[in-house]
Amino acid sequence: MSRKKVTVVGSGFVGSTTAQRIVDMELADVVLTDILDGPPAGKALDILESAPITKTDAHAIGISTASGDYSGTANSDIVVITAGFPRKPGMSRDDLLKANYDVVKAVVEQIVKHSPNCIIIVVTNPLDAMAQAAFKVSGFPKQRVLGMAGVLDSARMSAFVAMECKVSVENVHSFVLGGHGDDMVPLPRYSNVAGIPLPDLLPKDKIDAIVERTRKGGAEIVNLLKTGSAYYAPSAAAVEMVEAILKDKNKILPCAVYLEGEYGIKGLFVGVPVKLGAKGAEEIVEIKLTADENTALQKSSASVRELVTVLGL
């Protein structure tokens, strides 16, 4: 049986780490692309040479798309888009908007041409607006365009909860909805440690601190790194989505998807719980929110809508 094929667009830190994780887990053969000539091929070769040690027969190849030739990506099952300009200290996700829209548009036009049946996972920031751009440019059904954010934000929250409670991360399940920005909506009520609701374990001030740190999770790392932004956790999050799709797991994960009235939001990509399987977003799971939680989600979606409006999407 031939292996699945995943194209990772952008061979920077997020892209190359995503490619490495997919190959290490033997999920698929990977094509790593970049507009640079050399680095994608070099990184793919490096990953390939690690295979005898990590015991994987999945392959990686790297190709330059400087000439606009995406033929090497043809017939991909999934395309993960990480290409774009990174955030720099003091730079908001919104500053990235116009520059990264041009990148995503150019990439998606080529992807559609060569892999018309693929599922697109967008990682480029500002995440929700870029997912909307990919959706509009591709003309794909909404099930096949997803944004990676909720998995990452929930993982950050879980890491902080595990540290605070001094428990295994395997015991912690956190839930973060909304846009991937400072208005994201961590939901302590739906987060738990070994099934015990978070509000039953921690005092409100501790939970509030975790919520605040989760919202600022990306900026905290940007400020520490000085140059560039997070990539270990974002790549792990993207790969969890890739795995759920390729293995048809029907796994419920928070993802940015196109809403058409769910949660009272229409015509917009926002992070909500989604059942991920072979067809992509197989089902949007609607949960009951309190008035405060719903207000926070509507505020978060309004921030996304501002960006989308600027882009005329």
- pLDDT at residue 254 in the model: 97
Structural contact between residues 279 and 250, judged by C-beta atoms closer than 8 angstroms: no
| Domains of the chain, each with CATH number or no CATH | 5-147 (3.40.50.720), 150-310 (3.90.110.10)
Structural contact between residues 63 and 31, judged by C-beta atoms closer than 8 angstroms: yes
- pLDDT at residue 1 in the model: 61
pLDDT tens digits, 35-44 = 999 999 999 9
- pLDDT at residue 2 in the model: 83
- pLDDT at residue 65 in the model: 97
What Å distances lie between residue 249 and 5, 144, 241, 269, CA to CA?
18, 16, 10, 23
Structural contact between residues 150 and 240, judged by C-beta atoms closer than 8 angstroms: no
Global pTM? 0.96
59 is catalytic: no
pLDDT tens digits, 183-227 = 999 999 999 999 999 999 999 999 999 999 999 999 999 999 998
* The residue to which tokens 């490096």 are assigned: 46
- pLDDT at residue 93 in the model: 61
Q: Could you tell me how many residues make up the chain?
A: 313
Cβ contacts of 87-91, under 8 Å, gap ≥ 24: 87/125, 87/218, 87/222, 87/229, 88/222, 88/227, 89/222, 89/223, 89/226
Pick out the chain residues at pLDDT < 50.
none
User: Residue 285 carries which DSSP code?
Assistant: P
Q: What percent of the chain has pLDDT over 90?
A: 93
